[in-house]
Amino acid sequence: DTGVSQDPRHKITKRGQNVTFRCDPISEHNRLYWYRQTLGQGPEFLTYFQNEAQLEKSRLLSDRFSAERPKGSFSTLEIQRTEQGDSAMYLCASTLAPLNTEAFFGQGTRLTVV
């Protein structure tokens, strides 16, 4: 297993367009997290899944954001009607709860909205 994989690594989009990111967690990991990191800040929690169930969403996750994990494996994060303020690094992490205490992160998708 090569770790958490995110695709694409970089995305440039025009304001108002929709974008979708994909995350493939480490095999057998039951929890999957999405974080957003803006320049000069630490990652901020957006949402997480336990298998296919979305168990928690941050208030940062506006109604333009939606995340899915349909079969409890990979996950997608969609942003509709992108705004310049959505420009950030979007990080995915996974873990096997309760066995693991730490999260394993992917390399992130850097979104630039122009």
Partner 1 sequence: AQSVTQLGSHVSVSEGALVLLRCNYSSSVPPYLFWYVQYPNQGLQLLLKYTSAATLVKGINGFEAEFKKSETSFHLTKPSAHMSDAAEYFCAVSDQEAGTALIFGKGTTLSVSS
Nearer to partner 1, 76 or 80 (CB): 76
Question: How far lies 54's CA from each of 1, 45, 86, 110, in Å?
Answer: 24, 13, 21, 23
CB of 20 to partner 1, least distance (A): 19
Minimal distance in Å, beta carbon 60 to partner 1?
12
Type of residue found at 81: R
Q: Compare residues 63 and 102 and give the one whose CB is closer to partner 1.
A: 102
Residues that bind partner 1 (CB under 8 A): 4, 6, 31, 33, 40-45, 48, 56, 91, 93, 95-108, 110
Reported as half-sphere exposure (CB side, CA atoms, 13 A), residue 21 has a value of: 30
Q: Which is nearer to partner 1, 79 or 90 (CB)?
A: 90
